[in-house]
Chain A
Amino acid sequence: MSNPVKETAEIFSVQKVGAYYQFTVVAPGIAAGFAPGHFVAVAVGGENTSMILRRAFALLGATPSGQFAGTIQFVVAEHGAGTRWITQRRAGDTLDIVGPLGTPFPLPSAPSPAVLVGGGYGTAPLLPLAAGLIEAGSAVEFLLGAATSSRLYGELAAKRLAGSVTVTTDDGSAGEKGLVTEALPAAIERIGAEVVYACGPMGMLRAVGDISRAHAIRAQVAVEESMACGIGVCMTCVLPVRGDDGRSRFVRSCVDGPVFDADRVRWADVGTLPPDLLGADAMGLH
């Protein structure tokens, strides 16, 4: 595992893709340590901004070296003032970026058929993962879903990589009408999947976990929790997760995740304090 670094990164290009903005920035230190599942934390608003926290983005890829110094790519969706500031940056501007952060996707030790499920721009970290899986000899099938067609991401790139891509939208504006997880059981059976990888909203990840368990296979899912620091010191991004010892704890999705074995996450308890959690008994009055 490589240490994260902080880089002042020049933007090489910004491309609008549907409702999203795809950034390629020159960040050789971050690119050098990249593995699929890593994310970066980007400062927003400039030097004297009132927005003091970084915004986190899963990496779409990295090119450690080439014609230019190493570059990284990530996808930004506008959620508020901070992300809007980022999407207004253009080639030649610089971004203050910390990365690579988080624990990447675990890879199978031998070639294993895999279904990759992306919700919205959650597809971004699955693309370099697919490339790695395919290179290692695994069959890969993509399921991409979104609320509406402009919120889909990565369909072309996924097709180029894996050939087989199923698209769903909630409103039927692209692909099949419905939830992406409705297509998952058939996809698992079609390729005899031994593992499912997913990134997207919490509800989708939970459903992916349920379906995978029903098929007796593992699901490795990348969560997107709100976080202040991204480096493991602030304790704001925790999820209730069952450990190897059977005890559940609040664990940091920034360093212990963002990728979790879906079966270990207590999805139904997210946003609550389950009484059996380690240390819940000490909360007492406070």
Chain B
Amino acid sequence: MADLTTTLGPLTLPNPVLTASGCAAAGRELHQFFDVARLGAVVTKSIMTRPRSGRATPRMAETPSGMLNSIGLQGPGIDSFLEHDLAWLAEHGARTVVSIAGGHTDEYVELARRLRGHPAVSMIEVNISCPNVESRGQVFACDAIASSRVIGAVRRAADPGQPVFAKLSPDVTDITLIARACADAGADGLSLINTLLGMAIDTDTMRPVLGGVTGGLSGPAIRPVAVRCVWQVRQALPHLPILGMGGIRSGLDALQFILAGASAVSVGTAVFGDPLAPVRVLAELDAELDARGFGSLADAVGFAHRDVAALV
């Protein structure tokens, strides 16, 4: 039994396996299958200031080793979230990472303010893979200046005791540039990675499958992209904590992220196929660390980078 305790900046978690935003709602449904307090933390679906309907169906298409989704951030809004979801998570002893999303910097700031002082909020994950209304819909996460503006504003508005992580998109030329911009703006760490933009066409109707036309690709298909992003950011910013995610289905998958430099991981799309995936991945990761002689998870974080200069 390796010591699984991990840290994400100032936050200490008893173990490094979390859910992923949008893949666990607010924990309640998964609690039917396992006690959500067993996880490092529950990462909520992205919360916005107002209730949001999300997009028209079809919202989903299975793809090779993955899936496309175009949910469109359906959600109840922050008021209902605080009253029902966060209260439930607190009641059940679940450490909670609240994912926030918006179309304006002001919306992110309002959300960060509303979360201040909530003991159940362990951390804020800022979903910046949203179109920026003020910039003709260009996604925040694809622009270093827009990203740093949002992250800086959230960091200033948020409870000083709540770490702020920026969740980055892999759909950029150089993810380390965005990572550095977020770090300079005060991000306590980074969540890597969000979905990749993808698309599928129905060859019977000869139209796009998804109601939203394009959608986010997730699942094992994107894992190598995610591991690469974690690796590159770890090399560029070795002291910035990373929460890694993207196609983790097993303990060995999780271990790849840890070795690449993530201090914790989120299990996302795998939950759709196996509601017990997060706790299974945790047990498997524990066994794999033991099998490699790691006395603690911390010893394994970034381990694949040792002597790397000699490799390239």
Contact = CB atoms under 8 A, between A and B. Distances in A.
B94 to A, nearest CB: 15
Given A52-B65, A271-B57, A285 B273 contact: no
B24 A233 contact: yes
Interface string A259-286: 0000000000011110001111011111
A183 interface: no
B72 A6 contact: no
A52 B273 contact: yes
Interface string B249-279: 1000000000000000000011111111000
Interface of B: 22-25, 29-30, 32-33, 45, 48, 50-60, 62, 64-67, 69, 71-75, 77, 103, 130-131, 133, 137, 211, 219-220, 249, 269-276
B103 A250 contact: no
Interface string A21-34: 00000000000000
B62 A51 contact: yes
Given A249-B53, A250-B53, A283-B55, A53 B271 contact: no
A201 to B, nearest CB: 15
B interface, by DSSP: helix, strand, loop or mixed? loop
14 contacts: A50-B65, A226-B58, A228-B60, A228-B69, A229-B271, A233-B271, A233-B272, A235-B74, A249-B53, A271-B56, A272-B56, A280-B53, A283-B52, A283-B54
Given A279-B50, A285-B137, 7 more contacts: A52-B67, A54-B272, A229-B275, A233-B271, A238-B54, A271-B211, A283-B53
Contact of B60 (A82, A236, A283): A236
Which of A3, A232, A273 gathers most chain B CB within 10 Å? A273
A255 B32 CA distance: 13
Nearest to B76: A279
A53 B53 CA distance: 24
A234 B276 contact: no
